[in-house]
Amino acid sequence: MPAILFIVWNYQHIHMAVEEVKKECREAGKFRIDVIDVQTLNRTNVLPDVSVYDAIVVNQMGKGDWENELVSKAGDKLIVAFKSGIDNYSNVSRKDYETLARYLAYDGLENLKNFVKFCMKYFDRGINTEEPKPMPWNGIYHPEGGLFQSVEDYLEWYLNKYPFQKLVGLLFYRARYLFRNTAHVDSLIRELEKHNIGVIPVFCLTFPDPSVGMPGVEDAIERYFFIENKPIISLLLWGLYFRVSRKPELLRRLNVPVLNAIEIYANSPEEWAENQQGLNIATISMAVAMPEFDGVINPTVFSAEIRTPTILKAVPISERIKRIAEQVERWLKLRDKPNSEKKIAIVLHSSTIGNSEANIGTALGLDSFESVVEILRAMNERGYAVENIPSNGEELARLFVESKQIWQGNWSLNTSYAFLVEKKTYEQWFEELPEKVRISMLEEWGDYDDIPIPGLLFGNVFVTIQPHRTPVFEPEDCHKLIHNPTLPVPHYYYAFYRFINEFFDAVIHVGKHGSVEWLPGKSVGLSDACFPDVCLRSIPNAYIYIVNNPAEGTQAKRRGYATIIDHLPPPMQSSQRYVELETAVEEYLKARERGLEEQCKEAKRRIVELAARHNFNIAEENFDDEILQLHSKLAELNDSLYNYGLHTFGRLDGDIDDFIASIVRPERFILEKLGVDYSEATNNPSKLYNGYTLGELVRMSRSAFVAIAREDGVCRSSPDVPEFLLRAVLDARDVMKLWEDVRTRLESIQEIENLLECLEGKFIEPAASGDVTRGRIEAIPTGFNFYSVDPKAIPSKTAWEVGKKLADQLIQKFAEEGKMPESIAFVQWSSDPMNTDGEQIAEILYLLGVEPVWDGSRVSGLRVIPLEELKRPRIDVVVRISGLFRDVFMNLVELIDDAVMKVATLDEPLEMNYVRKHFLEGIKHRIFGDMPGAYGAGVNHAINTSYWEKEEELAEIFMNWGCYVYGKNSYGERNEEELKACLKTVEAVVRNHYTDEWDIFDDDCPYAFQGGMALAVKHVSGRDVKVLIGDTRKPEAAKVVDARDEIERVARKTLLNEKWLEGMKKHGYKGAGDIMKRVVNLFGWQATTKLVDDWIFDRIAEKYVLDDAVREWFMKVNPHAAEEIARRLLEAYRRNLWSASDKVIEELEEIYGEIEGHLEDIEV
């Protein structure tokens, strides 16, 4: 009996064709015909027994790890392969191959039946087949009107029948039309028509295939959504996977919002509803991530599949289809409504750090209040009804605080508010929620009453503050926040967003980041029971977001239905804070080289004096050894970048040359022209070249180039710059071109303009994202809907080299102490793959002794590195992933898990394979994260609210939040004992940091995750572990540093830097709030790691509390921030986290009392 195996991506259609052939063809009874879904095979990589088959037919969409094994086992069997990595192994004639290809391309049941029979014909020539029958490549389908292949014909029929004023386009797959599997499409069309919205439903294919004359989606867009080169639709629903293949400018020409309507394959509506992940890895990659590259927004599921005897039948998900129709309706109204009539809500964020008055307007790197004033002015000029615009951001902040238009600790006690949601109104809104949502809210928060909505009204624009996740000021509520990762929203939170939905046309969220996109629910592909969907519903959401954070911005896009309008980071510049001391060190080194004893003595005296002044320890008895370490430290500090102030949305303020220099880094190129390796100059600044230290050359080359650039390329000779260096600077013409390119990009930002375009329902172009000072200049200009990365392209080949270097340095850290680490823990965030292409992923893999296998730029598998090639033991890993990493990069979770399993099952000596050693001891899992639907580490909530007593509590919080197992066969099963067993083996906790555009004090997550993990290891093992940072700010000079050193570096370049403080003071209330937040986060590092030296707290107390001038500034612009800084310093002392002098504590307590008295007077 001849046996044929079909391995196909279009499994259900081939399976259906096979079943029909069995019914219709008498000869089919003589065959064994099996069909395998290629997606299942790609996931399992387990081939069936190929030896039992006489022919193997493959129809892939890419390459699979199993293909080479298939070819080797198939021998001389008949092979026919399409769109795979083994097409060239096909051993049928060219004519037959082309015939089979046409059957597949033309598609439809009759063609696929003939495809199957044609394959059978190789074993029975009596089987009859028909020639491939062309079917429509694309067309307009309507459930009442059938097929149209001319948009003019369709509109003549459609608009006579339904005289809709507005039309939207809908793209869906051709196969759905050919197999009459359109129930979900029909349902979506009818729901839109109920909303008085006309639809042009177009079936098509995504990719063209010129070999068979097959057009792609771009042809369908051109053909059916334009007439005489003008768009005829006002919105497009994207019901396809992948992206526009060749003509992304088509969507720019359409200039309409493109909303993502997602089909789920091989899962029923019930399975989707129960699945916390929402969408599987393949669907996220193909249906969410890839369309984002084209600017597609609002990913919303609208159909699933149920299994019938012959086919997987597409079925509508009614509540999601209603949500899509509501979203479409809202976007169309936004597009049509005159600006003068539109009502817009602008939502500022508010951190739980400090009290409510201290920290409203939270936004990383952004002066949120000044930005809102700029937006109000621009809206006024654009015709919006905007009244009483504040003169500046300071006035806006003052209005909020003085009028008490903020969320108080207990929302029900708000005495000032802009609007009131009465109980009866809220009750109606509440009853519309799904039952399980209502039950969870009532169980957690009890009953409800009238709910105040604070904010400020400027004509038709309402500026307001996002509510806290909980009141957070009552012990019971603090306990809920800290110990319940999936806490439902309080009534006031839902009321706030429902109010905005009901009474405003669009919402603008200002800055990174708020809380609504992080609420409990599915990872991607939300339902009406997911809290982000509960709150945001259908309102258009423009989200102003910093360009260097695509990871969390992606969360806003996928779970917050946001259209991103990205903005620049703050202007960055190099610290150069310790140049006087560094110069003295360089003079000493040069004098020592020349044997000039008197100059050495004088330089040494100055070094000792200046070092003491700036809290650098240098022992005179080991002076020559320590001077080199000091020089490296100074060069590092002086070259570190810090933000000089904050960015104002839509503006490019002041002299931008220092910012350009931080992006271009001209010294790299100039040193290359001198034949000096930049990484060596960075790592060995004391080395001499032509009588100068490399550290000097780095500094001088940058300053000389900037000076020339400021003079438009005109050379001004300087006695401080040697001739050989000046020549190299003048010869750097390519750098000058890059400099001017960056300047043009910065001066071309479109932030305000594109925000206004979004509010008019227009298409916001996609653009790259990333850290501009790390080489991602394609991320500017800003003002666009940024995208992130292809998950399958992680890690990149470049990232692999950096990761290997870091892994080697980690091992070297232990080798210096004469030992080899058995297990290293990593904090793994999504920012690593999105901003570095996966350097930390590469590091983890290389420690395990496994390397990626690439197919072009995409990772297709893994190779175990033999021990003889690795030349060291395999190091075990424990990986604490973030909730966002779980949502976005489950493919990388599975990649790491696969690597661990491959290594754990190797037959190698246990002393050379610690993974296997621990595996045999019973530790089976390595990857842990949050409960499905939850985010964070929890530790920061305890520290921010001061709701903790002992560090053991913080360790328990970390383990409670992060003890859920993830891997190829696990998705969020709780296993705290396994986590503890893993942590007992850990000898270092590592997280990489890749930029100075944000640092470890900018956010509470770094200490919550890394510090929390170090505490957890200490708690379960009884020993302290190394806390290490992989510093990849300069990838070519990547290194591993102690967290203590990184804490000191960041403190010196920001909190203890007068220039940094000068920049922050320009931003008044917001600047003061950001300073306060950094002090609290420094406190968090000390609470979790005890790696903050006392002198740092001493200097902070001196600068921010005891210094009269600085304190007076705080009291003027944000006295609540001054109170919080003083309170945290006293808390640090009382918790034995800071050994301060009695005198300092007395002064602090006295000043703290004065601040409290001042605030009480204000309250009265």
Q: What is the pLDDT of residues 247-287, one digit of tens each?
A: 668 999 999 999 999 999 888 999 999 999 999 988 999 99
pTM (2 d.p.): 0.94
Residue 589 DSSP one-character state: H
The whole-number pLDDT of residue 707 equals 87
Give the span between the Cα atoms of 1021 and 917, in whole angstroms: 18
pLDDT grade, residue 416 (50/70/90)?
confident
Bridge partners (DSSP) listed for residue 988: 1026
Q: What is the pLDDT of residues 105-140, one digit of tens each?
A: 999 999 999 999 999 999 998 899 999 999 999 999
pLDDT digits (tens, 9 = 90+) for 507-551: 999 999 899 999 999 999 999 999 999 999 999 999 999 999 999
Beta bridge partners of 307: 312
Encoding tokens for residue 262? 């997602």
Q: What letters, b where the CB count within 10 A reaches 16 and e where it falls short, cover 572-585? A: bbbbbbbeebbbbb
One-letter-per-residue 3-state SS of 392-456: CHHHHHHHHHHCCCCCCCCHHHCCCCCEEECHHHHHHHHHCCCHHHHHHHHHHHCCCCCEEECCE
Interval 1010-1029: pLDDT, tens: 999 999 999 999 999 999 99
State how far the Cα of 794 lies from the Cα of 803, in Å rounded to an integer: 12
Q: Which of 807, 775, 966, 798 has its CA nearest to residue 871?
A: 807
Alpha-carbon distances of 662 from 92, 406, 638, 674, 771, rounded to whole Å: 59, 38, 12, 21, 11
Is pLDDT at 627 greater than 60 in this prediction? Answer: yes
Query: Of 101, 79, 102, 103, which is closest to residue 90 (Cα–Cα)?
Result: 79
282-306 tens-digit pLDDT: 899 999 999 999 999 999 999 999 9
CA end-to-end span of the chain: 94
Token pair, residue 482, equals 């800290």
Residue 312: partners with Cβ closer than 8 Å, 6 or more residues away: 12, 265, 266, 305, 306
Render pLDDT for 938-975 as a digit per residue (tens, 0 to 9). 999 999 989 999 999 999 999 999 999 999 999 999 99
Residue 1099: partners with Cβ closer than 8 Å, 6 or more residues away: 615, 1056
- For residue 70, count other CB atoms closer than 10 A to its CB: 23
- Note the pLDDT of residue 732: 85
Give the integer Cα–Cα distance in Å for 110 and 873: 58
Contact 214, 220 (CB under 8 A): no
pLDDT tens profile 566-587: 999 999 999 888 999 999 999 9
Note the pLDDT of residue 717: 53
The answer to whether residues 482 and 945 touch, using CB atoms and an 8 Å cutoff, is yes
Nearest to 102 by CA among 94, 93, 111: 111
Task: Identify the pLDDT of residue 1154.
Answer: 96
The phi, psi pair for 421, rounded to 5°, reads -90, 110
Whole-number pLDDT of residue 633: 93
Strands of 3-8's sheet in order across: 32-37, 3-8, 55-59, 78-82
Check pLDDT > 90 for residue 474: no
Instruction: Kindly tell me the burial class for residue 450, based on how many C-beta atoms sit within 10 Å of its own C-beta (0-12, 13-18, 19 or more).
Output: middle
Q: How many CA atoms lie within 13 A of 610 on its CB side?
A: 19
3-class SS of residue 983 = helix
pLDDT in tens, 425-437: 999 999 999 999 9
Give every CB contact of residue 301 below 8 A, 6+ residues apart in sequence. 262, 263, 264, 272, 278, 279, 317, 320, 525, 526, 527
Exposed/middle/buried for residue 655 (C-beta within 10 Å: 0-12, 13-18, 19+): exposed
Q: For 848-859, what is the mean pLDDT?
A: 94
* pLDDT of 887 above 90: yes
Beta bridge partners of 879: 826, 927
The amino acid occupying position 195 is H
State the angle between helix axes of 423-431 and 435-445 in degrees (0 to 180), rounded to the nearest 10.
130
What tokens were used for 770? 């990333």
Rounded Cα–Cα distance for residues 243 and 175 (Å): 18
pLDDT higher than 90, residue 1055: yes
**SS3 assignment, position 824:** strand
Task: Identify the band that residue 414 occupies on the pLDDT scale cut at 50, 70 and 90.
Answer: low
Helix (H), strand (E) at residue 115: helix 109-120
pLDDT higher than threshold 80 for residue 673:
yes
Query: Does the structure show a pLDDT above 90 at 670?
Result: yes
Mean pLDDT rounded to a whole number for the chain: 93
Angstrom CA distances, 977 to 922, 923, 952, stand at 11, 10, 16
pLDDT at position 644, please?
96
Buried b (16+ CB within 10 A) or exposed e, 1098-1130: bbbbebbbbeeebbebbbebbbbbbbbbbbbbb
Residue 268 DSSP label: -
Percent of the chain with pLDDT over 90: 81
User: Residue 85's pLDDT is what?
Assistant: 87
Confidence of residue 409 (pLDDT cuts 50, 70, 90): low
Q: Give the integer Cα–Cα distance in Å for 397 and 393.
A: 6
**Alpha-carbon distance 669 to 732, whole Å?**
7
HEC-encoded secondary structure of 44-57: HCCCCCHHHCCEEE
Residues 6+ apart with CB under 8 A from 387: 458, 459
In this structure, what are the phi and psi dihedrals at residue 423, rounded to the nearest 5 degrees?
A: -55, -40
Does residue 411 have a pLDDT over 60? no
Residue 699 CB contacts under 8 Å (≥ 6 apart), including other chains: 576, 579, 582, 638, 639, 667
Mean pLDDT throughout 600-605? Answer: 91
CA-nearest of 1061, 1122, 1076 to 643 is: 1061
C-beta atoms surrounding 416 within 10 Å: 12
Hey, is 285 helix, strand or coil?
Answer: helix
Q: Of 546, 550, 551, 552, give the one whose Cα is nearest residue 566.
A: 546
- Report residue 1125's pLDDT band, with 50, 70 and 90 as the boundaries: very high
Interacting residues of 905 by C-beta distance below 8 A, sequence separation 6+ = 916, 919
Cα 963 to Cα 921: distance, rounded to the nearest angstrom: 19
Q: What is the CA radius of gyration of the chain?
A: 32
The helix (run of H) or strand (run of E) holding residue 878 is strand 876-881
* DSSP-assigned beta bridge partners for residue 297: 259
Is the distance from CB of 393 to CB of 405 less than 8 angstroms? Answer: no
Query: At a CB cut-off of 8 Å and minimum separation 6, what does 1126 contact?
Result: 1105, 1148, 1151, 1152, 1155
CB 884 within 8 A of CB 832: no
Quick one: pLDDT at residue 1046? 98
pLDDT tens, 21-33? 998 888 888 999 9
Please state, in angstroms and rounded to a whole number, the distance separating the CA atoms of residues 1148 and 1072: 18
Q: What percent of the chain has pLDDT over 70?
A: 97
Question: Rounded to whole angstroms, how far apart are CA atoms 712 and 700?
Answer: 18
